[in-house]
Amino acid sequence: HPPQGWCRSPCLPIAEVPAASFKRTERKGSGTILVVDDEEIITDIATKILSQAGFRVLTASDGRKGVEVFCQHSEEIDVVILDLTMPEMSGEEVYGEMILVKRDVKVVLSSGYSESEASTRFAGKNLAGFIQKPYRPQQLIAEIERCVGSRLRPPPQDPSAS
C-alpha cells in the first residue's frame, strides 16, 4: 500500500485550466524555476502554469537528475520546487546536495503529505515554502511570488485602458 497522503493516479484540477485563466492583470514573473518531480503530469502542469506566468522553467524527472540540472544552472535558478518522495534520491537527500552547491537555495517542498507531516523531515532546515499536491495555478504562483516577490513585476499598463 502507498504511504498515507500519497496517491498513484492524482486527480489534478489544474490539468484542465485554460490558458485564458492567466489574465493580463496578473503579475508577471521573471526568473528561473527548477521543478523536480518523478510524476510527469506534475512537471508538465507546473511547467505550463509557471511558463504562462512568465518564468523560465527547468525540469528533472528524479532526484539525481534534479541535482545534475541544479549543478549546471545553480546561478540562474531562483527557486526549486522539490517533490518529497521520489525514487533514487528522496527530496531530503536532493536538498542536502543542493545546499552544498548553493547555500542560499530557495526550495519549496511539494508533497501529497500535509505540510506538518512533510516538514518534520526538514526540521531545522531552511525551506522557502511548502505546497501540497494537488495544487491549483493560483496557489503555485502565490507560493513562488512569496519566495521571490521582489523579482516579480506588474504587467505593463495598457495606455488605452485609462
Percent of the chain with pLDDT over 90: 57
pLDDT class for 120, splitting at 50, 70, 90? confident
- Chain Cα centroid distance, residue 106: 10
Classify 126 as helix, strand or coil. coil
160: confidence class by pLDDT, cuts 50, 70, 90 = low
Residue 142 or residue 6, greater confidence: 142
Prediction pTM value? 0.76
CA-to-CA distance for 80 and 55, rounded, in angstroms? Answer: 12
Q: How confident is the model at residue 125 (pLDDT cuts 50, 70, 90)?
A: confident
Nearest to 116 by CA among 95, 136, 130, 106: 130
3-17, 22-36, 119-133, range with greatest mean pLDDT: 119-133
Q: What are phi and psi of 151, to 5 degrees?
A: -95, -10
Q: Please write the tens of the pLDDT for every residue from 69-115.
A: 999 999 999 999 999 999 889 999 999 999 999 999 999 999 988 88
